[in-house]
Structure 1
């Protein structure tokens, strides 16, 4: 998310993907805006809304996503602490950050993307990471390479530490971040990207099965334990058959979009068009980024081509000497190629990796 590119006066209406109201009217799609669901009653097939209305359904789709996880430390209620959930949040940060000391809590994708977006106009940007290097899902060497690229742009890092408290000034605005390593950071604007929790509180007691973290449990067709109720997106934990994974929660927009598309096939009684392959990408400073395809859960070995610390690499995650996921930095298109390779069920082994000279895999897709 390039926050500095936002127009601070933009609204959700301005960035709607489809503004053709006639499209929805022709398809009898109705919206209940500024309204939330307070209760779902499967037995009577009713949804209760915060405005007092009750909607009766024959099939129900739950796609509520996540709620931002907030800091739970002394001072977390001070002013100028932000969580990016809505376009208005992004606009406020974009309008306030120029010339300010910004601290970003969290060094995964959201935290790093925010830091990338604000560096050009902020007085300073510091990222707080509770891991040894940012972007820990990729490994310390890749995280170290990304950190050095950020540092070249002026971003500072506090690694392997946590926020233990926040202090404010006389106006009730945050002005100090106290870390577990003993350091105190000056801050004018604190932006947190520390994950989300599933937005499923309203389902407790409904009879719809949730796992112990609150995610909705669905099968490969996105059915809950109640046959006429479905769920998709960040709020669910679902099977990933290509990887023999019984249930997993994946919070990437491409996966959520695919859930919606595939659910359409389920509802109309048609077979899904193929297996789901997780894929995502991110771009920092409009200059360098990361791509990833597959699922590395359960991987037992890694094989790397290129230089991770220089940001130009391809890393393969293997299980039983078979590639199950691919990450890359730089111009390589290997993750996109492997997204198709996975879909086609083509097996690529450690031997294949060692024998490849250019680590381009289009020839496999032409078979």
Structure 2
């Protein structure tokens, strides 16, 4: 093609991003910052402009912050970057042969490159009575706006699920004066993501705050109360052993399902998430996927297939895609990290503790200031820090270095962690 290179075609290609969460918004802005010259269209199913989800189960639910405080970037940022926002519209189908995204409105958008940032949805609890009123899930602003009016002092809230979302909501509910019961089907809280010592610390904190914690408590049904159609009880167990726990409302937090159906229907490979390579590219070289909906075939740092649910991961993948689409060198893959705020506790986590063979605690859980290191074969693979931001930053570097460290050195508060970084 005379006078036009493939690079120029790529720079001028229209990029359509389906999913207007933080990952999608970040990818759109970075594309322009990195020199993309073509149109950028950001399509969002919700009517709200891109916003931050983590505060939904914390300050927004408790009423400490309003919806405006959730805004990820001001409208002027998209205008300045020449990013077109299409909000309140849902993508219905991808026509890969014609390189078009068909919207439920009947409109279609041609694309040169397509980025799927479709996120995920709250996993529904399939149990008898799950269609009763006053059973809530939490994933979007509108979910919280429906829930908050029911958050009245003295009301009985049953939270199904003792993971981060459930515990953050429990803390927010107590601030609003509700009576809270947390039901966890596993034998301890946070069982999938933390060691037993960290679980025990959080169980103690919540119990002391006034939360009724029940572990090994699998919900079998929801039952109506005096008013037909309204929730009255949450049923735990079955048969003669079943217990009815009185509830004015229930909040279910039992995980997330990636929104990979759009990709699957288009013939792209999915496996509990859209499968992508290290550049976040799918089977189709013109289609990428990022955020909660994407599963790495082999994560560059973790060196295995994994789907990560975290804002830092979505933002990192947004950078990876922006680099891939503008011909820049990609950033180095890094260890994942997460956080959770409950009461006056800031929990910061780095790495994945799966498969650890040694746990070392530095500091004092009794003083609510400690960091738990997870080791495998003598190397630091993960850490959970409670109210220890300095130690957390050092731990992230130890994990990134795949550093070896002795239990004695890690536990010794008289020895700064930065000394271990110099090895």
The normalised TM-score by structure 2 is: 0.79
Residue ranges of structure 2 left out of the alignment (5+ in a row): 1-57
Are residues 1:149 and 2:205 paired?
yes
Name the residue aligned to 2:41.
none
User: Does the CA-based 8 Å contact 1:302-1:315 persist in structure 2?
Assistant: yes
Name the residue aligned to 2:53.
none
Pairing partner for 2:167 from 99, 112, 115: 112
Cα deviation 1:189-230 (Å, max 9, x = unaligned): 11111111011122223121101x3x1111111111111111
Matched length: 358
User: Does the CA-based 8 Å contact 1:145-1:310 persist in structure 2?
Assistant: no
Aligned pairs for 1:182-193 (under 5 A) are: 182-193=242-253
Name the residue aligned to 1:16.
71
Are residues 1:30 and 2:90 paired?
no
User: Does the CA-based 8 Å contact 1:6-1:91 persist in structure 2?
Assistant: no
Name the residue aligned to 2:230.
173
Name the residue aligned to 2:391.
334
Report the CA distance between 1:316 and its aligned residue.
1.4
Aligned pairs for 1:227-266 (under 5 A) are: 227-238=285-296, 239-243=298-302, 245-266=303-324
Name the residue aligned to 1:305.
362
Report the CA distance between 1:178 and its aligned residue.
0.6
Pairing partner for 2:186 from 128, 131, 141: 131
In structure 2, how many angstroms separate the alpha carbons of the residues matched to 1:172 and 1:309? Answer: 45
User: Does the CA-based 8 Å contact 1:301-1:318 persist in structure 2?
Assistant: yes
In structure 1, how many angstroms separate the alpha carbons of the residues matched to 2:184 and 2:392? Answer: 26
Name the residue aligned to 1:158.
214
List structure 1 segments (4+ residues) > 6 angstroms apart after TM superposition: none
Of stretches 177-186 and 54-63 in structure 1, the one that deviates more from structure 2 is 177-186
In structure 1, how many angstroms separate the alpha carbons of the residues matched to 2:415 and 2:326? Answer: 41
In structure 1, how many angstroms separate the alpha carbons of the residues matched to 2:106 and 2:261? Answer: 18
SS in 1 for 2:70: coil
Of stretches 289-298 and 186-195 in structure 1, the one that deviates more from structure 2 is 289-298
User: Does the CA-based 8 Å contact 1:141-1:309 persist in structure 2?
Assistant: no
SS in 1 for 2:301: helix
In structure 2, how many angstroms separate the alpha carbons of the residues matched to 1:147 and 1:331? Answer: 19
Higher helix share: 2
Report the CA distance between 1:309 and its aligned residue.
6.4
Pairing partner for 2:405 from 349, 355, 365: 349
Q: CA 1:161/1:310 → structure 2, altered by over 3 Å: closer, same or farther?
A: farther
Are residues 1:220 and 2:220 paired?
no
Name the residue aligned to 2:341.
283
